[in-house]
Every structure is written in structure tokens, then in C-alpha cells.
Amino acid sequence: MKLNKILPLMLLLACSMSFAQQGKKQSKKLNTKKIQIVDSIKVSKIAEELPSTVVATSFKDSTVFNLKDMALARKKDSLWLKELYKSDLFEDIYNSVANQDFDPVDYDELPTELLKQRLKELDARTPFKVEYNPSLESVIKQYLKNRRRGLERLMGLSEYYFPLFEQELDKHNLPLELKYLAVIESALNPRAQSRVGATGLWQFMFPTGKMFGLDVSSYVDERSDPYLATEAACKYLKSLNTSFNDWDLALAAYNSGPGNVSKAIRRSGGKTDYWKLRDYLPRETAGYVPAFLATMYIFEYAQEHGFKKQAARIPFVATDTIRVKQQITLDQVAKLTNLDREELEFLNPSYKLGIIPVVKNENYVLRLPLTAVGAFVNNEDAIYTFAQEEQDETEKALPELFEQPEKIRYRVKRGDYLGRIAERYGVGVSEVRSWNGMRSNTVKVGQNLIIYPKKSTQDIASNAPVQTSNSSEKTYTVRNGDSLWSISQKFPGVSVQNIKKWNDISGTNLKPGTKLKILKG
């Protein structure tokens, strides 16, 4: 063949190979690397009649994903990882507000005159009425005396959430001190859920959340999205303050609803001072504003009271979001980025099933630490290819969007553990933990768990544990000062709802001398 015929063929072949290589580059494979894990354990042995300790060591190989980021972009990222997230304070705060007592508290470290001086200083720099009264003093001293460790943990979490809150409050021209409201509402737990169904950092009920643009589907609960829920809370608080023209009353209305505050004003003969309305408000709301003001005081004077913050694992400013282009699970993201699943759940709390969907006209995002953002973006196509291949291979189909799985509430029984409960309903342990905002696999007798079963009712019934007749009944006599909550605390695994059900009680008022039935076992 002549040279002038061969050259065009060679050029065409070269171009074909070039295009093929470009096509392969777009669907590049994810890099992996082999690492050797050293596992060691201390072992005691006897040598010459004297005990000594040696270390037994074993080695095993493991494969992890090794996503490469651009070096230049990577240098611009920074991340501070210190302590594990903890978010188990919600019940403590919820009960302390609902069952607040205002008895005098001995706390010599804070003399009354010093407290009056500090409250006066605080009142001068905030639109809230921070005036001294014995009830507020009681709450502040109770918190300082009995809740120091929990407050330090909340101060650590505030390092993550407060910059976000302040940004939105400032945008809506609202007092920045409203950030302390989320501490009282949810203990800064974005998956906190009250007994009546209020959810998220700002505890929105379903209808109120809908009113302010927070949607709920089988995959996503936007009430648990820190950014969206904070924006909605700002709008709601602004509307309440416009209605009552008083921040204390706006806070009371946020807690119990504007209708209850309006009724309290009527019953009081037209009084609009919160402290004069307290006796006409629901019990929980009567302790709500004092709890808010006490929290504000302690956070503002934390240094003076010697608090040592348990630092947040990561600051909000050290994270960024990526708009998701293809459905992906948090488990897949954790596997690919070598991040803890718990960390991803903390950063992305609105995804109820650990799945980030792609829906028309919705912009669902994945929030990651800055150091992982670059690696994800630099390998985005390969990541989605991996996710799709894994999804195609799995035998269990994902639930259809907007078809809410049947939700059940399971009460933990004696002998239960999380693995057994998850297996009974055909779900994973990590899913149960995700649905209930759990930080560990530990469950307690009497604890209520939200579960979305994947097994049929017949299968669940066939796997149900055999009930034994070990239950025993006790009788408790109500004393002066008792409440349903304080009584429930005397019996491990017993809740307020248990006592109400066992004794056919609808309200919360108890008369001294009443006999209550308490079931054990």
C-alpha cells in the first residue's frame, strides 16, 4: 500500500484512540489502595512467679477508596476534628422546662446582688426583658448547680450551629439572642422529636412547618434541615412579634401557640406582661421563658462561671454543600470518602432513610467537611457510576418516593438489643439509629423507637418474641409535689405515657393519696 494511503488511515486510527481514551476518562474508575491494619491486645502472663504484660499483635490487609483531590485546592481547606458529637440532652431539657419548679436554690458561687447586676447589664443590650425576679434566679442557679456538664456539651455544639443561626437572624433583622431558643427547643439536636411530633432544631409541628415551606416526604424531613428550618423559624418568630409587639409574648406563643397567649391575656383581664400572665399559660410555657433567659445568661457569662466548652467536632464554616445530581446514600458517601456514617448523619440530618434523592424542582444537597468536598467533586462522575452500579446489584429495592413507609413505634422490652429489633423488622441497625437520632447501639427498657418495617406483617408476627408472664405490678401512692414525670423517673423503663395508659389518665393533674398502678417486667 502506498504511503499517501497509509498516512490518512494512521491519523484516523490515532483520532479514534484519542476519543476512546477521552470517553474512558469521563467514566474513570475509583482509585483504591491496600492498607495494613495492626490489631493489638495486651495479654498478661506469669514469668518467674511475677505477672507481666505483653502485647499480642496481628496484621490484616484491607482495601479503602483513595480519592485524590487537587493539591492546590486541598491546601485551601481546613478542618478541626476534636470530639464526637453527642445529642442525648433533648429529653432532659424537655422535662426540665415542662416540670420546672421555682423553689429557692442554695448556690453560694452566685450571690443575688451579683446576679442582679449582671441581669441589668444583659437587659441593657438585648430587646428581651431581662429583669431580676426570684423565679429566674431559681432557674439560673438550678442550671448552674445541676446541669453544668450538659451545658458544656451544648456550648460545644453551639460552636457549629450558632454561626448559621446568627447569619439568618441578622438577615431577617431579628435579635441574635434568639439563637438560644434552639437550645431550649431541641438541645441543638436536629432530629429531636417531641411527644406530640414537633421535630427538628426549632421543633416545628407538621402543619406549621408546611405553612413556612418545610416539606416532609418518605426520604426528606426539611424540619430537620438546619438551614431551611432556621429560615422558617425566623419568619415565624417575626410574624409572632408583629402580632404581639413583645418578644416575651412572642416566645410564649412560639411554645404554646398564639391562641393560648391570647386566651391568657383575656383571662388576666388584659395584662400583657409575661410575668403577670404566667399563671394563665400552660404549665410548660410558664417555665419556657425563664428557661430561655437562664440559658441566655449562662451562655453570656460562661467564662465568669468557669465553663469549659466541649468543642464541636467541626465548625459550620468548615463545611460546604454539593448539589446532588444522582441518587446516592450516606452509606455510599461514607464508604467512598472514608468519613464516619455518624459524621455524615450529623451534617445531613434531614435525610430520614439515609438516602439523598434527586427530584424535579428540588435542590437536595450533600454537606461535607471542606477537606472531603474537593475529593468528591474531583471524582464526581466515578462516584455516581459506583453508586448506580451498587444500587443495580442490590436485591432490596429502595422505597418509592413520596410513598411514606408504614411507621411503627416499638417499645423496647427486657432482653431486647438493637440487632434483634432490626432483624425482626428486616432493617439495618444503622437505619434504626438514623431514624431515632441515636449515637450508639444502646437501648433501654421502655424506650420508644420509630421503625419503618421492610418485612410483611405476617413475617414480623412469626418472628415476634414469646411473651413470658414475668410482669409484676406495683402500687405507688401520689405524694405532695409529685408529677407524672417525677414518678416515672422512680421506675426504670417507665414513661409518662405508660403511667397514663395503665391508670386511664388523660390529664396531668394528680391528687395526693391517689393509688397508681405501675407495671414492671
Owner of C-alpha cell 422512680: 490
299-304, long-range: CB within 8 Å, 24+ apart, which pairs?
299/155, 299/158, 299/180, 299/183, 300/122, 301/118, 302/155
Residue 329 parent element (H or E): strand 328-329
Cα→Cα distances 13→181, 289, 446, Å: 68, 77, 72
As a whole number of angstroms, the distance between CA 276 and CA 264 comes to 10
Please name which of 139, 170, 153, 112 lies closest in space to residue 293, comparing C-alpha atoms.
139
Contact predicate 282/332, CB 8 Å: no
CA atoms within 13 A on the CB side of 168: 19
**Length of the chain, please?**
521
Residues 6+ positions from 57 with CB-CB distance below 8 Å: 38, 39, 40
Residues 6+ positions from 370 with CB-CB distance below 8 Å: 77, 78, 79, 318, 319, 320
Contact predicate 452/405, CB 8 Å: yes
Q: Which residues are bridge partners to 57 per DSSP?
A: 40
Q: Looking at this protein, which amino acid is placed at residue 229?
A: A
131 CB neighbour count, 10 Å cutoff: 13
CA atoms within 13 A on the CB side of 140: 29
* Alpha-helical regions (H) of 204-273: 206-211, 226-244, 247-256, 258-267
Residues 6+ positions from 395 with CB-CB distance below 8 Å: none
Helices and strands, number each (H, E), in the chain: 23, 10
Cα→Cα distances 196→211, 461, 497, Å: 18, 28, 12
Contact predicate 412/366, CB 8 Å: no
Give the active site residues: 185
As a whole number of angstroms, the distance between CA 243 and CA 262 comes to 10
